[in-house]
A and B are shown apart, each in its own frame.
Chain A
Amino acid sequence: MNPEFIRSLHDLLPQIQGYIYPNEIEIHWGLLIVVYPYITGVVAGAFILASLVKVFNVREVQPLYRLSLLTALAYLLVAPMALIAHLGHPERFYEILLTPQTSSAMAMFGFVYAWYLMAVLLLEVWFVHRTDMIAWAEQEKGVMRFIHRTLALYSRDTGERSVAFDHKALRVITIVGIPSAFLLHGYVGFIFGSIKANPWWSSVLIPIVFLFSAIVSGVALVILLYMIMTPLTGGKISMRCVDKAIDFLFYAVIVDFSLELVDFIHRVYQSEEEIKILSEMVMSKLFGSLIIVQVLLGMLIPLLLISLTKIFRKRFHLNDDLRKMVYFVAVILIQFGIFATRWNVVIGGQMFSKSFRGLTTYKMGFGGIEGLLFAILLLALPIVILAVLMKILPPWKEMHGEVVPEGMEVAGS
């Protein structure tokens, strides 16, 4: 037994308010489980942004297409790490694949994940880059040539029939991909929403709220990455693209905010058994992360900022830099807001006792698997993976707007 862990529980004792069941003092799903839905949210959101181009034919955001696909892939690779790391027995994670219980939402993770990774993301990335990889390999030598050849599965066929098939496949995959992305993150919401023992989680709206906050976080993150990376790689930010993406973000935030508001009003109006302890929790332990960060900083202020650029259209549209600044601040705030959303769902759901008579406290560690450092590492890891992916499958041309898409064409061959 870890004496330090026991001591930390003793330290928590005086911080308990009211009565909690004696086994409830330890918060079992900590920072890692906050990180997990945040990451899968980014995956789903980034993918949905990508499908704007492919399915809904929004040409303005074409420069974000490959970037968002690669972002989704990079984050998806990290998602299971957070889950596995938090287990009491990480070395046994394979059990979930060997004896999955069909009644368990969590057991379905392996299958939803595998489906999304293999059948959707990898396929789409492959089809998008196939002709490019062939072209790159022609001009390259050594390792890169080998990598591109292998990744292209030694295909050299850039004939009309194959390219036509690429396009057809992409369309099908994206159409299958949208419900899959919904499934991936809606399912993460269902993991929480299906727990009838926990009134903070148990809500039919939770999967939908998760979905829309996922779209918000993914779109915002891709915009942020685009705005940072394009100047760094010597390109020019296409304001037409950013404006359009911000438009989508704006509506997504409004929908997300309304859904959460509906959920909130519904709870307060129904005012069931648990309302007392939940409102006490929101007003004390969650005040900072829920009211301040999630609602005020993460939603209302970004909404206000973006609306300003719309209301004072003339003024802002004359000055691209000012608009860029505003967008930049908005998408960063939104990232923090969505992370706080995840925090409030996961941690908030465990801070009140299921006896509805008291609150416990979450004390975040710094070191260790459940600590802050590891969480930051996990949050930084997708960026590293993304950098590697961009090295292998450079999206710069498209991001810099050098590729002029013709209809559904993905040029590069």
Chain B
Amino acid sequence: MGKLFERFPDPLARLIVVVFALAIVGVVVVFGLIPKSMMDVNAQWASAVKREEARPIKYAGFHACAECHDKLYETKKKGYHRDLSCETCHGPAKAHTEDPDKVKPEIPAQRAFCPQCHAYDPSRPRGFPMINPVAHNPLKACASCHNPHDPKPPTTPKECSACHGEIARMKEVSHHVQLECTTCHDTPQQHKVSPRSVKPSKPQTREFCGKCHGKDAKDKMAKNAPKIDMAEHGEKYVCWQCHYPHSPEVEQ
């Protein structure tokens, strides 16, 4: 051993000993002292996945409620709210499924609840049923007119909106809110029976809109309508190529 070292210069020999000692300590620590599991990332991932999978759930899911509340479930299935989970309104119900008597899900009866979805909001998609919560039957609970499990307007729907709801709702918040559908569309009675073969009319000419929006419109409904000179305004186009009649844009 000593002879071997003499072949190296003194400082190198000493460094080799130190490095060697460090290496041995390192090997002992890595292979002897540290448990294998701490260095096995795949095993760590597997246990992390298990841990993640084992987390408790809070929302029971849409099937769970039907087991007991089958009648309500059947009602809801046919109405506009058919795609909603019960827990969308009633909150997390896993605890309720485990102990139905002790834990009761909330029943959001207060008037502030429904407008979270149904209040008018310009960012909401057009056609989504929206109301102005300030003007819409103030102080009355929503559920006094609408059954949340089968929400419908309380009165028989207007004949057109029963099928053309999206257009009707859009029109409801537009400047044409006062106009009946039949103001612009002649609708034969037969349309209700065979809607695809007998169709309502649509305005064909610029002059039709001009009856209200023309410079010298006489129609009594046209009193407050914005007026344009039909001869100069948008010559080449028919009106509805720029203005959508069910939700006309408004001058600044």
Please provide the chain A residues from 67 to 98 with a CB less than 8 Å away from any CB of chain B in the complex. Answer: 98
Tell me the nearest residue of chain A to B9, going by C-beta. A165
Q: How many residues of A sit at the interface, in one of the four size bands? A: 10 to 19
Q: Does A66 contact B (CB under 8 A)?
A: no
Stretch from A151-159, A177-185, A322-330 forming part of the interface with B? A151-159
Question: What would be 29 A-B contacts, judged by CB atoms less than 8 Å apart?
Answer: A98-B34, A98-B38, A99-B38, A99-B39, A99-B40, A99-B41, A99-B44, A126-B15, A130-B11, A153-B11, A153-B14, A153-B15, A153-B17, A153-B18, A154-B14, A155-B11, A155-B14, A157-B9, A157-B10, A161-B9, A162-B9, A162-B10, A162-B11, A164-B9, A165-B9, A165-B10, A165-B11, A166-B11, A169-B11
Q: How many residues of B sit at the interface, in one of the four size bands? A: 10 to 19
B-side contacts of A157, CB under 8 Å: 9-11
Residue numbers of B with Cβ under 8 A of A are: 9-12, 14-15, 17-18, 34, 38-41, 44
Q: Does A127 contact B (CB under 8 A)?
A: yes
From DSSP, what is the main secondary structure of chain B's interface residues?
Answer: helix
B-side contacts of A164, CB under 8 Å: 9
From DSSP, what is the main secondary structure of chain A's interface residues?
Answer: helix
Q: Which 3 A-B pairs rank lowest in CB-CB distance, beginning with the nearest?
A: A157-B10, A165-B9, A153-B14
Please provide the chain A residues from 104 to 137 with a CB less than 8 Å away from any CB of chain B in the complex. Answer: 123, 126-127, 130
The answer for the CA separation of A166 and B12 in the assembled complex, in Å, is 9
B-side contacts of A154, CB under 8 Å: 14
**Most A C-beta atoms less than 10 A away, residue of B11, B39, B40:** B11
B-side contacts of A165, CB under 8 Å: 9-12
B35 smallest CB distance to A (angstroms): 10
B208 smallest CB distance to A (angstroms): 45
Q: In the bound complex, do residue A159 and residue B10 qualify as a contact, i.e. CB atoms below 8 Å apart?
A: yes
A-side contacts of B39, CB under 8 Å: 98-99
B-side contacts of A162, CB under 8 Å: 9-11
B-side contacts of A99, CB under 8 Å: 38-41, 44
The answer for the CA separation of A99 and B15 in the assembled complex, in Å, is 29
A-side contacts of B10, CB under 8 Å: 155, 157, 159, 161-162, 165
B-side contacts of A161, CB under 8 Å: 9-10
B38 smallest CB distance to A (angstroms): 5
A-side contacts of B34, CB under 8 Å: 98
Besides A98-B38, A155-B11, 12 other CB < 8 A contacts? A99-B38, A101-B41, A123-B15, A153-B14, A153-B15, A154-B14, A157-B10, A161-B10, A162-B10, A165-B9, A165-B11, A169-B11
